[in-house]
Amino acid sequence: MPFTIAIDGPAAAGKGTIARALARHFGFAHLDTGLLYRAVGAIGGDPVAAARGLSPADLERDDLRSSEAGQAASRVAAIPEVRTALVEFQRRFARAEPGAVLDGRDIGTVICPEAEVKLYVTASDIVRARRRALELAADEALILAELRERDARDAARDVAPLRPATDAILLDTSDLSIEDALARAIDYAKAVGA
């Protein structure tokens, strides 16, 4: 039986790093669902058509980790038809053998509410801005403003708002090393049968 690990949380909290490491640890497939929305935003034009026609090659674009792609992803993710077009792809991926780790903003609440493990990875705004500024070699104050704007938009949207699932385990990485955060995530996943 497939085993699904759903990881949600705001940008630069460490969810992607933890998700990739968990997938490697357990031998599961990994999907950064934010890349789907980043790709749709980066393709441009009609976002619904872009979502319906999304291909694996679109997820390999070099510009998907940019701040601009992140902002575009947040905007197109608020369009219900875009979300609908991408939901089934994500659900099929989540139930593939032997298991999968998906990270995003609505995995435990909308995409995989039946996931065996649900984590909500977060960190303070300041820590997240510092991490993202280092990653992108960008101005920390500007990144902080962009993160806060995106978080507010994602938490307020009508469709699949950013919030932890009621049964998710909160993992605050503000004061944790990646090794410590990963160890906690592994321990939890093992405790429920991964």
10 labeled binding residue: yes
Residue 24 has pLDDT above 80, yes or no: yes
Is beta strand 117-122 parallel, antiparallel or unpaired with respect to 29-32? unpaired
Region 138-147: mean pLDDT is 95
Nearest-angstrom CA–CA distance, 141 and 8: 24
Single pTM value for the model: 0.84
As given in the structure block, the two tokens for residue 27 are 């031998």
* Rounded-to-10 torsion of CA 152, 158, 159, 164: 50
**Cα–Cα distance measured from residue 133 to residue 145, given in angstroms and rounded to the nearest whole number:** 12
Model pLDDT for residues 43-69, shown as the tens digit of each residue: 999 999 999 998 878 988 999 988 888
Instruction: Tell whether 84 is in a known binding site.
Output: no
pLDDT of residue 4: 97
Residue 104, marked binder: no
Residue 14, annotated ligand binder? yes
Q: Is 145 annotated as a binding residue?
A: no
Is the pLDDT at 117 greater than 80, yes or no?
yes
Q: Give the closest residue to 108 by CA, choosing from 91, 125, 83, 123.
A: 91
Compare 194 and 166 and report the one with higher pLDDT. Answer: 166
The CATH number of the domain where 71 resides is what?
3.40.50.300
Residue 2 known to bind ligand: no
Q: Is 100 annotated as a binding residue?
A: no
State the residue range of the domain holding 80: 3-191
What is the number of structural domains in the chain? 1
Q: Which amino acid is at 86?
A: L
pLDDT at 100 over 90: yes
Is the pLDDT score of 107 beyond 90? yes
